[in-house]
Amino acid sequence: MSVLDSKVPKGPLKTKWTDYKNHINLVNPANKRNIDVIVVGTGLAGGSAAATLAELGYNVKTFCYQDSPRRAHSIAAQGGINAAKNYQGDGDSTYRLFYDTVKGGDYRSREANVYRLAEVSANIIDQCVAQGVPFARDYGGLLDNRSFGGVLVSRTFYAKGQTGQQLLLGAYSAMNRQIARGKITPFNRHEMLDVVKVDGKARGIIARNLVTGEIERHSAHAVVIASGGYGNVYFLSTNAMGSNATAAWKIHKKGAFFANPCYTQIHPTCIPRSGDYQSKLTLMSESLRNDGRIWVPKNLEDVKAIREGKKKPTDLSEDERDYYLERRYPAFGNLVPRDVASRAAKERCDAGYGVNATGEAVYLDFASAIQRYGIEQAKIHGINNPSADKTYELGAAIVKAKYGNLFQMYEKIVDQDPYKTPMMIYPAVHYTMGGVWVDYNLMTTVEGLYCIGEANFSDHGANRLGASALMQGLADGYFVLPYTIGDYLSHEIRTGKIATDSPEFDEAEKSVKDRIDFFINNKGQHSVDYYHKRLGKIMWEKCGMSRNAEGLKEAAKEIKELRESFWKEVNVPGSANEMNPELEKAGRVADFLELGELFAKDALVREESCGGHFREESVEIGGEQAGEAKRNDEEFAFVSAWEYKGEPGDAVLHKEQLEFNEIELKQRSYK
């Protein structure tokens, strides 16, 4: 059994990070000029890390498969970013953000990392404001905040419904400054296909130029993986179709342990699928649940009439509607945690109350908010007894100011005006909390190989909260990695330039080319998408919101059979020496097939209900599924070293005693 050393410093949680920084090894500014760092991925985590490392004086190479870092999937984040500023004066603090994040992760997070995250969160906002990120502001000019599900304070900073895009533009502008100075060399339209280890240390990568097909060698003193999550293992998810697991999976197969692969966040507010032809799903920000009310008809006759087009949702009176979240969870109402909202929507739809043609949708209704805001605005403007039309006009203007781009996006996709008829939403795979195992320094189990942002496992546990992803990505990139990587690089100042003509680079490049040649020359019967869709169907049905032992065993078996068929029957058109999207997809789906099998086996080991993962063997209460979150005073990280085309190794349980025992533990019921 492998022993993992998390390298968490001694001492109280609230002083760990400060004391650690005070005693960490540093690199002299003159020596930083002689040290190279590779950053794979240029989203919020990778972009902020690259910009900060270059600002410090390191020579940085960045790699992304998109045509520009501005295309990173971080732009898709809508609702906001958490920070413990307490601008609302509602009792927020570093401790409360830490507490909510650990509790929201069902106590599966590494607490030292989470406290550090809460600690630096306030700095993130200051950094981004200095970069010109246009956060929303209140009437007095102060930064505004809104609420997100699962917490009792307003701590989420936002820029309408495009927070991720605005934050990414801030990081991108910081990168551009370093590109102009020559401290960052960008390699856009490049995909990392392997990591190169020399004497046990990460010393570079093999990358493919996606435009020309050329295979390239790049060396560095340290490699940072910031390639995002693996939600596309489900095929249909809120992720861009290009989002993939390849970089993280390649380093896993070179010895970097994977942790918590089955921890996946299901987002409750997504536009429902409309047919089998779809390649992705679209997220509607959780911030909409601040003002939108979720409901389904109370009577199945009304459901049938709506599906057949004989009734409109606006035809139903309040008494004919079931605001089921408000009914079941009066304390949080529509702002319950994401897993609770997701399971409740699925339960209603499974019971036959789904309102769209596929029976997989519930309503998110803004009529009450428009009416409420309209009455308030009429009073502010001194309008007595406003007409219904005037009330609607004033209220809709407020809703438009808060969520306008989201409403516009919904109308373009669904062809319905959400100001006048309720939105339809349904849960979908969103964020992945599992990933590459890292220690307190964000280093993997391979020396000199770091992993940050969504690609690692450290901060989220079985997360049920929103607005945490952007916080972790920027915390890792701006404020954590630049400190911790210096401790490692301080021992590399005499190493000199890393050569790329070594046997290790030769071997890694040959392996990459052999795999590409296989795909091009294998004349099978099925497309890459054929296998990806079949994998996604298995994952959603048997490794989705609800899981049971029998289904997970079937999933592992079916994925293994699908993987074997893939290697025999996949067909990739085109050649290797050109831009070939099908070739790119083939490599990524091959990795998803391996990851999917590990995912199912990890989920099988976890017999408890936690986060977004409901284990069906749990008790039933009142005819509805209900789970009780069991929790041991240990952190479980499922780890496996998987040889190429081999079988998963034995599960290694990483047990780390929780240090913060003041947290009050309460059993949760989903009734």
| Cα–Cα distance, 231 to 431 (Å, whole number) | 6
Alpha-carbon distances of 461 from 435, 465, 611, rounded to whole Å: 11, 11, 8
Cα separation, 114 vs 459, whole angstroms:
5
Three-class SS of 117-149: HHHHHHHHHHHHHHCCCCCCECCCCCECCECCC
User: Which residue from 111, 98, 104, 113 is spatially nearest to 263, judged by alpha carbons?
Assistant: 104
Q: How far apart are the first and last CA of the chain?
A: 39
Q: Is the Cα torsion angle 232, 236, 237, 241 positive or negative in sign?
A: positive
CB-based contact 48:132 (threshold 8 Å)? no
Give the Cα separation of 38 and 50 in Å (integer): 9
Instruction: Say if CB 158 and CB 135 are below 8 A apart.
Output: yes
Q: Provide the 10 A C-beta neighbour count for residue 395.
A: 25
What's the CA dihedral at 74, 76, 79, 84 to 10 degrees? 0
Whole-angstrom distance, CA of residue 663 vs CA of residue 671: 23
Q: Which two tokens stand for residue 563?
A: 């993987």
Count of other CB atoms within 10 angstroms of residue 623: 7
**In angstroms, rounded to a whole number, what is the distance separating the alpha carbons of residues 163 and 623?**
40
- Residue 203, helix vs strand vs coil: strand
Count of CB atoms situated within 10 Å of the CB of 22: 8
DSSP state of 71: G
Q: Where are the beta strands (DSSP E) in 25-123?
A: 36-40, 59-64, 81-82
Q: Which of 388, 398, 263, 409 is nearest to 338 (CA)?
A: 263
Is the C-alpha dihedral spanning 441, 443, 445, 446 positive or negative?
A: negative
Helix (H) or strand (E) holding 435: strand 435-436
Alpha-helical regions (H) of 263-311: 300-307
Single-letter amino acid, residue 70: R
Q: Is residue 136 a contact partner of residue 79, using CB atoms and an 8 Å limit?
A: no
**Closest C-alpha to 4, from 655, 593, 659, 476:** 655
Contact between 249 and 434 under an 8 Å Cβ cutoff? The reply is: no
Catalytic sites, residue numbers: 338
How many degrees, rounded to 5, is the angle at CA 609 between CA 604 and CA 613? 70
Check if the beta carbon of residue 588 is closer than 8 Å to that of residue 536: no
- Which 3-state string (H, E, C) describes 277-288? CCCCCCECCHHH
Which residue do the tokens 């979240």 mark?
325
Gap between the Cα atoms of 260 and 457, Å rounded: 7
Whole-angstrom Cα distance, residue 397 to residue 404?
Answer: 9
Matching residue, tokens 């989220």 = 460
Q: Which of 324, 327, 368, 369 is nearest to 346 (CA)?
A: 324
